[in-house]
Amino acid sequence: MSNIVAIVGRPNVGKSTFFNRLIQRREAIVDAVSGVTRDRHYGKSDWNGREFSLIDTGGYVKGSDDVFEAEIDKQVELAIDEADAIIFMVDVESGVTGMDEDVARLLRKVTKPVFLVVNKVDNGKRAEDAVEFYALGLGEYYTVASINGSGTGELLDALVEALPEKEEVIEEDLPRFAVVGRPNAGKSSFINALIGEDRYIVTDIAGTTRDAIDTKYNRFGFEFNLVDTAGIRRKSKVKEDLEFYSVMRSVRAIEHADVCLLVLDANRGFDGQVQNIFWLAERNRKGIVVLVNKWDLVEKDHKSVKEYERAIKKQMEPFTDVPVIFISALTKQRIFKAIETAVEVYKNRTKKIKTSQLNDIMLPLIERYPPPAYKGKFVKIKYIMQLPTPQPQFAFFCNLPQYVKDAYKRYLENKLRENFGFNGVPISVYMRKK
């Protein structure tokens, strides 16, 4: 179970640059995900073998500085509640500002590890200027220059040292299905409709700090753990509409799930916040089923379903091979279809294809439509195998892996989907040197 580290601070101190530097080092190791060029406010990083999830709170706030002042308090409160460690970033160029003092005031009460990081320190003069940040009362600070990475090593050494060791929970091998989505989309109603009892109403007991509530579900021959992110006690301080809130809540549930049931409100559609959660699940290579809830309340004509589904898939590109099911938790319409589909997606995610079958089907397709030549050099793919990973990953062995472009990898992915059926599951395609 990976730890969560939140980066907080006022706008323009360089949080995003720092965040990108940390996750790119990681993403460069595990081939970058093709086609996902959306805003990244969430990523994974590791240092000396310790993996952690990184959340850039700044990425969630739109608007001017004065709007930000109210928002930043909420974000810091949320980071304090949810993260295992906090990086508080300030900027040596502007010195200590009133907003920095506000954030420091909130952080001084915290028992979790807090790292004060002074950014933009790229020469000796600035290193001397950084001394004024002692005034924030957070003790020692770390100086870094996000732009070129200097100083980040010492900070990360201290950070991973301070992260609490997570106990590895030994769990039964039951598939885990997480119900995720923005607040008020109907996650709890969906779970209550499935289980047939309103057991989620009783979870609002002060001090319920469990990450997510698990229910063992056994009906119609399916057995799995249902993970509810809605049942987590709401922090009264955090306003419901805060985008950051749903994402922060979903991170842990998604990381430990096999399949994510993404519930969205039919009247709101596949909006930015739902997309954030969708890409979070996709980047974690989880199975995904999209459930359009409250479908009973939508004005429909004979083509509503098709058009609605087409609009959602447009937003999901390039990963469009995802089941979309129209449900009503209230009338229980198609809720069991939702579970059957999740079970199919789980089977797709754990499917193993024989190497001989893979080569028999894929090699002739590749021969018919080989990778385009690059600078007069021809790429020859000789052999394919599925890697022994928890989710579908395929290695294509060839003479010049560096010349195979994303567009051709997508072609290979589409052919794998057509021939072997991976509905609802992200596939990774790697080119390897023969």
The H or E element containing residue 87 is strand 85-91
**Cβ contacts of 39 within 8 Å, gap of 6 or more:** 59
CB neighbourhood size of 316 (10 A): 18
Which residue ranges are tagged as binding site? 9-16, 56-60, 119-122, 181-188, 228-232, 293-296
CA 337 – CA 329 distance, rounded (Å): 12
Strands 213-219 and 222-228: antiparallel
- Signed CA dihedral, 299, 303, 308, 309: sign only: positive
Task: Please count the CA atoms within 13 angstroms of the CA of 348 that sit on its side-chain side.
Answer: 27
Structure-token pair, residue 206: 């002060």
CA 318 – CA 170 distance, rounded (Å): 36
Residue 311's φ and ψ, nearest 5 degrees, are -65, -40
> Is-cis flag, bond preceding 113, omega within 30?
no
The angle at the Cα of 59, spanning 56 to 60, to the nearest 5 degrees, equals 105
Which residue ranges are tagged as binding site for GTP? 9-16, 56-60, 119-122, 181-188, 228-232, 293-296
| 230 in Cβ contact with 192 (< 8 Å) | no
| 88 in Cβ contact with 138 (< 8 Å) | yes
CA 298 – CA 292 distance, rounded (Å): 11
Question: Sheet of 393-398: strands edge to edge?
Answer: 381-386, 393-398, 428-433
Q: Whose CA is closest to 32, among 325, 327, 380, 409?
A: 409
Q: What is the DSSP letter of 48?
A: T
Q: Whose CA is closest to 291, among 321, 320, 322?
A: 322
Strands 428-433 and 393-398: parallel
